[in-house]
Copies of this chain bind each other. A is one copy, B any other.
Amino acid sequence: MSAKIISGKLLSQKLNSSLKNSIDQIKGIRAPKLTILQIGDNPASNKYIKHKLKSCKNVGIDCDHIKLDQNTTESELEKIIIDLNKNNKVDGVLVQLPLPNQINEKIIKNLIDPKKDADGFNPITLGNVLLDDTEIYPATPLGIIKLLESENINLAGANVTIIGRSNIVGKPLASILINKSATVTICNTKTKNLAKVCKNADILISAAGSANLVTKKFVNKRMTVIDVGSNFVNGKYCGDVDYDKVKKIVKYITPVPGGVGPMTIACLLENVFKLYLNNIK
């Protein structure tokens, strides 16, 4: 027996195609517009932005990439964000992380108007995620929910264990799952006997960023395993899960690459489209 593989690659293609149709159908009005701000020339950021630009183009979102000098000051960046917040032709604003040291990430995240918060990182957006009162969610948690729902995996009453408690994955994801009536356990590096805490879950979501953390000791045969990890081992890209061994045991599993990764971009595009619909109202 081997797990059913939940392909984020296929699901994201489906979602992107459906989004393209929705955008095409809105005729006579301008295209949705996202502005990506990059500060400096981080090679990983360059690569991510290239992906985002290509994905936007594919679905019909107009995407501006503003690349600023590594030495840009916080107040210079603030001024640009304030102008973008005011510009009603811009629907989404995204500041590519990481930022250089002279710029305070919190201040920048707080400054982006929640009505243009494509990444869903503003505290207001996150507060509304907690309150179950939002259309915009951070893209990775939203992508995970869509992966689970695509297989009709039951969330209400399910025991879900999340490894990792970041502001962009673990904590907002926990809020969403709590609101969907799951019983949610959030683990971190201080968790005692991690394998045991995970072992009986119906759904195990690993967002630890630690290759081969989730071994067969962590899983059971009814389990769905969602691998949010993004690691490089000997030049090879992999998740947190000891995939080849774990997939032989569990019921569903997402691969890396081709699992959560492409869903994150698809959900970012969906956020931009929702912000656009509200903006042109």
Contacts and interface: CB of A to CB of B under 8 A. Distances in A.
Interface residues of A, number: 35
A130 interface: yes
What's the dominant secondary structure at chain A's contact region?
mixed
Contacts of A157: 190-192
Interface in A15-51: none
Copies in the complex: 2
A60 B188 CA distance: 42
Given A123-B133, A126-B131, A178 B188 contact: yes
Contacts of A124: 123-124, 127
19 contacts: A122-B127, A123-B127, A123-B131, A124-B127, A126-B130, A126-B131, A127-B130, A130-B130, A130-B171, A130-B175, A157-B190, A157-B192, A170-B178, A171-B175, A174-B178, A178-B186, A181-B189, A181-B190, A183-B188
Interface of A: 106, 122-128, 130-131, 133, 156-157, 159, 165, 167, 170-172, 174-175, 178-179, 181, 183-192, 197
